[in-house]
Each structure stands twice: as C-alpha cells, then as structure tokens.
Amino acid sequence: MKDLAGPDVVVATLDKDGKPCFVKAGEPARFIVPEIVDVAYVWESKGIADVPRGIGAPPPDISFPAAGGTKFGLVCFAPKSADKFDEAQRTATDADYDEDGMHMSDTIDYDVVISGKIDVKLEGGEIRTLRQGSMIIMAGVNHTWKNPYDEPCVMATIIVGAHGKRG
C-alpha cells in the first residue's frame, strides 16, 4: 500500500507580529488496517473558522467532525481490498458500518481521486467507478468503497460535519 506517513503539510498564517508566514502543520491522525485502508487526516477545525489564527489544528483522531467542523486528509485503499472488512474500522469512527463496510455519517464529503481507481457502491446496489481526477460529493448517504483493482487508490478528502438523521 502507498505510505501516507509524513505528508508535507504547510500552513500559511500570521506570525505573532501579524506578518504572513509558513508553518509546518504537525503530525496527522492515522488509522491503518493493513491490506485494507490507510487514513491520514492532517487538519481539522471544530467549527466556523476565525481567520487567520483560529483555523484549527492537526486532529487527535479520525472521528468524523461535528456539525460545522471539518477534516482534511488522504485516504489510500489497498489493491484487491474489495470485500475485506476489519472490526477496527467499525470502532475508529462514529459511523454505522455493516459487515460489508457499508456506512453513513452526518457529513458532506468532498473526495478527489489522486491516483488509481475505486468503486463506490450505494445502498440499493448502484455502483460508480471513480478514476484519477474523479470527484465525488458524498451527502450523508449509505455507501461503501471497493478496490478490486491491482493498484492502490489514493484520494484527498475534505469532510464537513452536518446535521443529519443520526444526530
């Protein structure tokens, strides 16, 4: 699987004197299930940001954000990981997972495939294959990710906490 450890994340903000500067973001929150998925969330905000100084921080975990909060990161689905599921996935977030990995959360997810390809299956059976450059907006619907392909799929994701049927 492609290693998501140590992404180079730079934050443009203001220093203590109010001058623009770049700072390193810090360590991402990681979640790895070998041969299935690797997640690296690099930034989160707890609510509406107050720019330029109240913009958030590296997250302590991979839980989904509360309404108004955000998470930003990378997800890598291992090659040939379709139909594999590990109980650790169920407990890592507050999503409701079934045995097939089908889940939903009270979020709007903006995902962009950076490399590889992946199938996203919706409750009811409809499937779409996303390829490099594909974008999907996941609006709190029940879904699962399937990578039956020979290469890993890396996606950038921005998750926005929303009000929904679970909360």
What are 131-149's pLDDT values in tens digits? Answer: 999 999 999 899 999 999 9
Rounded CA separation 91/56 (Å): 24
In this prediction, residues 108-122 reach a mean pLDDT of 97
For residue 14, being part of any structural domain is answered with yes
For residue 5, being part of any structural domain is answered with no
Identify whether the C-beta of residue 147 lies closer than 8 Å to the C-beta of residue 78: yes
* 55, containing H or E segment: none
For residue 1, being part of any structural domain is answered with no
Enter the pTM of the model: 0.90
Provide the sign of the torsion angle of the four alpha carbons 60, 154, 7, 38, taken in this order.
positive
For residue 48, being part of any structural domain is answered with yes
**Structural domain count of the chain:** 1
Rounded CA separation 85/99 (Å): 7
CATH code, domain with 26: 2.60.120.10
Which candidate, 46, 166, 47, places its Cα nearest to that of 106? 166
Structural domain including 67 reads 10-161
